[in-house]
Structure 1
Amino acid sequence: MVNPTPSYKGHRHPVEVVSHCVWLYFRFPLGCREGEELMLRRGVTVSCETVRRWCAKSGQAYADGLRRRRPRPGDTWHLDEVLIEINGVRRYLWRAVDQDGNVLDVLVQPRRDTKAAKRFMARPMKKQRRVPRVPVTDRLRSRGAAHRKPMPSVEHRAHKGLNNRAENSHQPTRQRERAMKGFRSAGAAQRFLSAFGGISPHFRPRRHLRTTAGHHLETTIRFTVWDHDTENICRPAAA
């Protein structure tokens, strides 16, 4: 399902306020009420419900715009799932990342059997329009069974230690899950994490690989990209 491009038409606040609220919500472990308070400190009066609607309306469009700017992902894909609890019901959050930690896809599913693994493995291949050179998973048997049919000639590496890249990529989600006191529904979790996976990594450059000056320069560039995209992705509709 393709999300329609949102418009700023009818908004009482300018695009800078809208994009700043969306940035605060997806970049830091904050709720809508904290975003409301931070904006009030800056002299802008918005309600927490307004912040929530802005994030729901524009978050995915911003994330898609940032993804289109990224270079092509690597050919080594790490796939893993983690248990999450939604209203007392167990669900599994599946995630695929490349060797550099770039998020390829996320999917919330009720199971982690072979059928669920096949469904998830097909999603990043469809989006990237290619198969990975090396898929890396843990040792769960359903991973191997799901891999054999769509990628019979591709080497599959199943080892717990090799899959730390995917396991570590779950940490920001865990942090947000605690701040939000859990997700309300599987659909809400899917919508939030799809946008979160596109926006949050954009503002998390690999700082340990750069000097302080280099990190500041890279962060400034990423803010410039964010400002440009948020102003042009959702242009006001013509009157």
Structure 2
Amino acid sequence: MKTIPIAPDHKGYRFPPEIISYAVWLYFRFSLSFRDVEELLAQRGIIVSYETARQWCVTFGQTYANELRRLRPHCGDKWHMDEMVLTICGKKHTLWRAVDQDGNVLDILVQSRRNKHAAKRFSPQGAPIRPSCHYHR
């Protein structure tokens, strides 16, 4: 788990910021229920009610998300498109990948058609991919 370097104000909370951020991370990263978060924390010896975990997620979730979004690496100003033909269930499909100058994958599209309309769907009017793009792993 990556810790958030600039944590929101945790004054007045019973638990340290590390436990609060861990509970919020568990909930959002793995799409768990609050009761699942409560159980996972209990396995580590941290007794927290599911309602407390819910309140932490409501209070700190957006702040953590904004901070992670700010720290996310930005894509480069130059990119190129890779094209590959795949066979899926006996049918040919075309895979397009947009890759920036550092080798990070910016976007992926797999389609059964390879034509002008399909290419425009991947990158409309040949416009460059926006800097707010997200990376695929």
Question: TM-score, normalization: structure 2?
Answer: 0.52
Aligned twin of 2:89 = none
Consecutive unaligned residues in structure 1, runs of 5 or more:
77-98, 102-156, 164-200, 207-239
Aligned twin of 2:38 = 36
Alpha-carbon separation, structure 1, partners of 2:30 and 2:120: 29
Which of 52, 55, 60 is matched with 1:53 structurally?
A: 55
Alpha-carbon separation, structure 1, partners of 2:15 and 2:9: 12
Aligned twin of 1:21 = 23
Question: Secondary structure, in 3 states, of the residue corresponding to 1:100?
Answer: strand
Q: Quote how far apart the aligned CAs of 1:60 are.
A: 1.2
Alpha-carbon separation, structure 1, partners of 2:119 and 2:59: 38
Alpha-carbon separation, structure 2, partners of 1:14 and 1:48: 17
**Higher RCO (CA-CA < 8 Å; seq separation 6+):** 1
Alpha-carbon separation, structure 1, partners of 2:59 and 2:8: 7
Q: Quote how far apart the aligned CAs of 1:73 are.
A: 4.1
Consecutive unaligned residues in structure 2, runs of 5 or more:
1-6, 80-104, 108-115, 123-133
Aligned twin of 2:106 = 100
Q: 1:72–1:13: structure 2 CA closer, same or farther, 3 Å change rule?
A: same
Q: Quote how far apart the aligned CAs of 1:162 are.
A: 3.9
Aligned twin of 1:183 = none
Alpha-carbon separation, structure 1, partners of 2:32 and 2:119: 32
Q: Quote how far apart the aligned CAs of 1:159 are.
A: 3.8
Contact 1:6–1:57 at 8 Å: present in 2 too? no
Q: 1:40–1:161: structure 2 CA closer, same or farther, 3 Å change rule?
A: farther
Aligned ranges 1:1-20 → 2 under 5 Å: 6-20=8-22
Q: How many residues align?
A: 88
Question: TM-score, normalization: structure 1?
Answer: 0.31
Alpha-carbon separation, structure 2, partners of 1:159 and 1:18: 45
- The 4+ residue runs of structure 1 with deviation greater than 6 A are none
Q: Quote how far apart the aligned CAs of 1:161 are.
A: 8.7
Alpha-carbon separation, structure 2, partners of 1:11 and 1:160: 52
Alpha-carbon separation, structure 2, partners of 1:58 and 1:158: 43
Contact 1:36–1:47 at 8 Å: present in 2 too? yes
Question: Secondary structure, in 3 states, of the residue corresponding to 1:64?
Answer: helix
